[in-house]
Copies of this chain bind each other. A is one copy, B any other.
Amino acid sequence: MFRAMHSDDTAVETGAAAIARRLASAILRGQYPPQSLLPGEIELATQFGASRTSVREALKSLSAKGLILSRKKAGTSVRPRADWQMLDRDLLALRLEIGPEHSFATDLLALRQAIEPAAAAAAAQFQDKAAIAVIAGAFAEMEAASHDRKRFVDPDLRFHKAILAASGNEFMMAFGAMIEAGLAAFITISLRHTEAPAPSVPLHHNILKAIEAADPDAARTAMETLLSRTKSNINQDLA
């Protein structure tokens, strides 16, 4: 049999988690279109060189994410796209791996434009001092890294997540993965766009100031401004 000789190989991964990833990837890429039937569990087990137990655990994961539905005798079929948990962390990460299309980046940005201004306004209203301090801390690190595109990414992400957390709305807090994927897609697509992130620093500062000043409308507007700029950057890079 063919087996990996050393650990850091491109060898075929095994285990339920890997099977789940590979199956999910195949479904996301359209290899198994909605309504179609997956191979039976036994056949999948031989395909992946694993036991039926592991295959079943992998299928359970996909089922929990709304990708598939198993029924006795009928087999396991792919559910319609409308049922997929599109904002699931793992699914978003997978789509980034597969290679984000343009609509992936633009649709995610449109969603950010709906959520984040509302979250910023809510944070300005809610006035959770500890959470606002986290925003301020992230902003300080952004300033410090404002001339290093690579180091900038991490505090930038933390800044936006901290605003979600400060909104006081538990459902808005669930969009961290979406922002992460949105930023990553933006970076992937606009690789040429190597200008330093410095210009966006004052835009972020305006958001922070408005939240600290307990001014919801200003916070909403400032966030809208920042995201509009991101949008025009994307469009510019696609041109």
Kindly state the separation between the CA atoms of A111 and B62 in the bound complex, as whole angstroms.
26
Known contacts A60-B16, A107-B169, A115-B114; A85 and B82 CB within 8 A of each other? no
Asked if A2 lies at the interface with its beta carbon under 8 angstroms from chain B, I say no
Asked if A123 lies at the interface with its beta carbon under 8 angstroms from chain B, I say no
Interface 1/0 per residue, A90-116 and B, CB below 8 Å: 100000000000010001101101110
Interface 1/0 per residue, A108-131 and B, CB below 8 Å: 101101110111001000000000
Which residues does chain B contribute within 8 Å of A81, judged by CB atoms?
170, 173
In the complex, which residue of chain B has the Cβ closest to the Cβ of A116?
A: B114
Asked if A46 lies at the interface with its beta carbon under 8 angstroms from chain B, I say no
Which residues does chain B contribute within 8 Å of A82, judged by CB atoms?
165, 173-174, 176
Asked if A89 lies at the interface with its beta carbon under 8 angstroms from chain B, I say yes
Which residues does chain B contribute within 8 Å of A114, judged by CB atoms?
114-115, 117-119, 172
Which residues does chain B contribute within 8 Å of A61, judged by CB atoms?
60-61, 63-64
Could you list which residues of chain A lie within 8 angstroms of chain B, going by C-beta atoms? Answer: 16, 53, 56-57, 60-66, 81-82, 84-90, 103, 107-108, 110-111, 113-115, 117-119, 122, 165, 169-174, 176, 178
